[in-house]
Amino acid sequence: MIRLKNVSKTYSHGVVGVKNINLHIRPGEFVSIVGQSGTGKSTLAKLLFAEERVDKGVVEIGGWDITNIYSRDVPLLRRQIGVVFQDFKLLPKKTVKENVAFALEVAGEKQGRIRQVVPQVLKIVNLTEKSSRYPQELSGGEQQRVVIARSLVHRPKILVADEPTGNLDTLNTREIIDLLKKINEFGTTVVLVTHNREVVNALKKRVITIDNGEIVSDVETGRYRI
């Protein structure tokens, strides 16, 4: 599903993003990528959906070599990879259902399909009854659930969540992680980037630890020890 071969990325002034990364994530896995701030875990995530490009090495998604992906093909890639960030980035003047529908509209989907898909994903994230509310009328956890719903509209094979609980309290964090687990149970590969030790240890799933841009640990049912 996801394969990185000898991947390195360096930013300006010699700042190392990732270095000599070799990684294979199988279809349907739930993988946590952990490490302290600035160690390269977010860089690794961005390489998966082509927000960043490698300096050397190969990145494959579902057998598709995206190492030198053309800009025109990036939207197609991102329909296969749902992305959730710490920053909700919701449109404040659109309702919940309009925010979710917008992701389909910009992709050129027909209104009939939009009317079909939006209620389905809102049901998954348990926001059907709040579909007509605006972002400012929702809690932080509810806003993040809207973001997750938006990321699911294209039925992606992979969901990359980069610090999705960074702005949330303990209760909302637990709800978001439970939702990611539910999505994973549907068969979606989930890549969770986080520094939250409690979340990772409670999951008891595969844990990949990044330090100074390199993988220093990769365990099938691990704990976050750094």
- The pLDDT score that the predictor gives to residue 90 is 96
Adjacent-strand bridge partners of 10: 16
Task: Give 165-195 pLDDT, tens digit per residue.
Answer: 988 999 999 999 999 999 999 999 999 999 8
- The pLDDT score that the predictor gives to residue 226 is 56
- The pLDDT score that the predictor gives to residue 161 is 96
Strands 206-211 and 189-194: unpaired
The domain spans of the chain are: 2-173+189-219
Strands 206-211 and 30-34: parallel
Q: CB count, 10 Å around CB of 53?
A: 13
Distance CA 103, CA 117 (A): 11
Query: Residue 57, by phi and psi: left (phi above 0), alpha (psi -120 to 50) or beta?
Result: left
Residue 200 tokens read as 């990772």
pTM (predicted TM-score): 0.93
**Which residue stretches of the chain have pLDDT < 70?**
222-226
CATH superfamily of 2-173+189-219: P-loop containing nucleotide triphosphate hydrolases (3.40.50.300)
